Chain A
Amino acid sequence: MSTPLLETRNLGVRFGGLQALEGIDLQIRSGEIFGLLGPNGAGKTTLFNLISGITPASSGEVLWRGGSIGGLDANRIARLGMARTFQNLRLFSSLSCLDNVLVGLHRQGRLPWAAALVGTPMAQRRQRELKSRAHELLALLAIGHLAEQNAAALSYGDRRRLEMARALANSPELLLLDEPAAGMNPGEKDQLRDLIRRIRDQFDLTILIIEHYVPLMLGLCDRLAVLNFGRRIALGTPDQVRRDPAVIEAYLGGSR
């Protein structure tokens, strides 16, 4: 089998006396939509933070294309081709939607500093290209009409869409989505499923997604892992996970 795009080996983190994650082994294959399920406090977002370099791991390692990325800063990891959204939304609130996406396009705007300073025709053309790219991404997420709006003025659902647009602007190979459906109504959640499939195909992405809404996850993901109390309690296709006794116990409680 080929090397997985992302792999965690025996990954764990301890915050003081709390073992937040322990012995997490996952292999994310190129092109799949991989879901992380689990009750609140199971360690899903913590796992995202370990993978994206925001929190250092206490044990184990994260491998990107087979090479360890332990100890790299968040910005170095982002540059490898990993982009993420945040459960609590971290937009640049004083900037317009368009500028938020332009920040996401940061790496693609690289120019000689003197050209950027003076604003040579080459730099201006580059700037126009990036802007039209940003407009395309906003339109793809159905918030094109809000381009000039301040990010702080957006509704909750639109802010989630803007975060996705910004993450896509990074042109990542792996997209980490932390509860993208939070704050959306059932109709919007169904649209979101189609949207995530569409961007996976259009951008040739691998997606790692955290979501509480189980019907969305079962219908969307190729494979799922279930976490509970910092441990992986199940792994497999949606059908396998749905029937797993450990999962049923975690969600519905054990029978006596």
Chain B
Amino acid sequence: MDATLLTQMVIGALLGLSVYLPLRCGQLSLATPGFYAIGGTLAALLSTRVNALGGSDPLYPIGSVLLEMTLAGLLCGVLASGIGAVVLRLRGVYLAIATIALVEILRVATLNQDALGGAVGIFGIPQPFANPEGYAVFALVLLALVCWLCERLERNRLGLAMAAIRDDELAAACQGIDTERTKLVAFVLSAVVAGLTGVISAHFLNSWNARLGSFDASITTLAFVVFGGSRTWAGPVLGGLVLTALPELLRPIGDLRLIVFGLVILAGPLLLPQGLINPALLGWLKGLLPKPPCTTASGEGQR
């Protein structure tokens, strides 16, 4: 497979996961492109304006990319905890609207600040890898890390508390769960993932401008989750991979591809309202596996 396309797909999957994290506690946040843009802008600024990060080698040092990621992660995390404390008081579609506003504010502010690239953007972002394969591997490592994080989250106490809040926030609070704090943790994690992805993306794209974090991007990333399913982390990953690849893979059929792409996006929610990776599929897969011995033993013990 083409490594450039693969990198784009992995970036799509990462953004899908960023939307999925708050959605796991029932919070429809569309702030992902905003934090993605913060990460991208920060990386673009640091790598083009701070000469000390460049080093002597013609290739931009990986260490500097990791430093940018650390700073972007911290910045997004701190910003998200401040913003989240306010906007997470909103629920449902009101939260969605507030987070769209946040993305727009960031976009317009960037557009009007020449120091942040202005309308032209920032060009000539240095390359840490000589070929696209390097980017693909780097992005895949980050995706694997975030998937591992989500997998752990779904299996431990915090993830269970998040699912409880999604099902019934009031009942969750009555179990002694600090619902405000739990929602904030998910929102901050989402922002950090988006910020880190922005850093990779900025180097990969070679240039960065304010249009990369727009309302369109909010809807696209949401489509990843709707298409793939929000029940488990595999859903947004699959949705991000497939929906990023599809327009490119359909290129041979010319302009017809846009129609086919539109039909696929439409058919997904119509035929599988809970996404490709849905509870029915998970239940079926579970049935295929041999039953774990510990649960059968305890089941017999109760009779």
6 tightest Cβ-Cβ pairs between the two chains A and B: A144-B302, A90-B171, A78-B176, A92-B167, A74-B173, A139-B302
Q: List 14 A-B contacts (CB under 8 A).
A: A75-B178, A78-B173, A78-B176, A79-B176, A83-B174, A86-B171, A92-B164, A95-B160, A106-B164, A111-B157, A113-B158, A119-B152, A145-B302, A170-B175
Give the complex CA separation of A169 and B302 in angstroms: 18
Name the residue in B149, B157, B168, B179 with the highest tally of chain A Cβ atoms < 10 Å from its Cβ. Answer: B157
Q: Which of B167-202 contact A (CB under 8 A)?
A: 167-168, 170-179
Are A117 and B156 also in contact (CB < 8 A) when A93-B167, A144-B302 are? yes
Taking a contact as CB atoms under 8 Å apart, the answer to whether B171 and A106 are in contact is: no
Binding site for A on B (CB under 8 A): 149, 152, 155-158, 160-161, 163-164, 166-168, 170-179, 279, 295, 298-299, 301-303
The answer to the question of A160 belonging to the interface, with a C-beta cut-off of 8 Å to chain B, is no
Chain A residue with Cβ nearest B158: A116
Inter-chain CA distance A107–B295, complex, in Å, is 24
Contact bitstring A62-101, B, C-beta under 8 A = 1, else 0: 0000000000011100110001101000111111000100
* Among A102, A117, A138, contact of B160 (Cβ-Cβ < 8 Å): A102
Contact between B303 and A145 (Cβ–Cβ < 8 Å)?
A: yes
Interface of chain B: mostly helix, strand, loop or mixed: helix
Q: How far is the CA of A54 from the CA of B171 in the complex (A)?
A: 10
Task: Let me know if A103 is at the binding interface, CB within 8 A.
Answer: yes
- Chain B's closest residue to A150 (CB) is B279
**A151 → B minimal CB distance (Å):** 9
Report the Cα distance A139→B300, complex, angstroms: 11
Alpha-carbon gap, A145 to B158, bound state (A) = 26
Q: What B residues does A144 contact at CB under 8 A?
A: 299, 302-303
Once bound together, how far apart are the Cα atoms of A145 and B299, in whole Å?
6
- Would you call B302 and A106 a contact (CB within 8 A)? no
Residue in contact with B168 in the complex, picked from A90, A106, A117, CB distance below 8 Å: A90
Q: A95 near B298 (CB under 8 angstroms)?
A: no
Residues of A contacting B173 with CB < 8 Å? 73-75, 78
* Interface residue? A216 (CB, 8 A): no
Shortest CB distance B231–A (Å): 8
Q: Quick check: B176 and A132 within 8 Å, CB to CB? A: no
A75-B177, A78-B174, A113-B158 are known; give 13 further A-B pairs, CB within 8 A: A52-B174, A54-B174, A75-B174, A78-B176, A92-B164, A95-B163, A106-B157, A106-B161, A117-B149, A119-B152, A127-B156, A139-B302, A166-B175
List B contacts of A238 (CB < 8 A). Answer: none
Contact yes or no, A92 B176, CB < 8 A: no
Closest chain A CB from B229 CB (angstroms): 13
When chains A and B are docked, how far (Å) is the Cα of A73 from the Cα of B170? 11
Residues of chain B with a CB closer than 8 A to A113's CB: 158
**Nearest neighbor of B155 in chain A, beta-carbon distance:** A119
A residues within 8 A CB of B152?
Answer: 117-119
Report A249 CB to chain B, min CB distance, Å.
35
The contact of A103 among B149, B164, B279, by CB within 8 Å, is B164
Q: Are B175 and A132 in contact (CB under 8 A)?
A: no
A116 touches B156 (CB 8 A): yes
Contact A104 B302, CB 8 Å, known A92-B164, A95-B167, A109-B157: no
Nearest Cβ in chain A — how far from B301, in angstroms? 8
Q: Tell me the bound Cα distance from A74 to B171 in angstroms.
A: 9
B174 and A103 contacting across the interface, CB-CB below 8 Å: no
Task: Given A75-B176, A106-B176, A170-B175, check contact A95 B164 (CB 8 Å).
Answer: yes
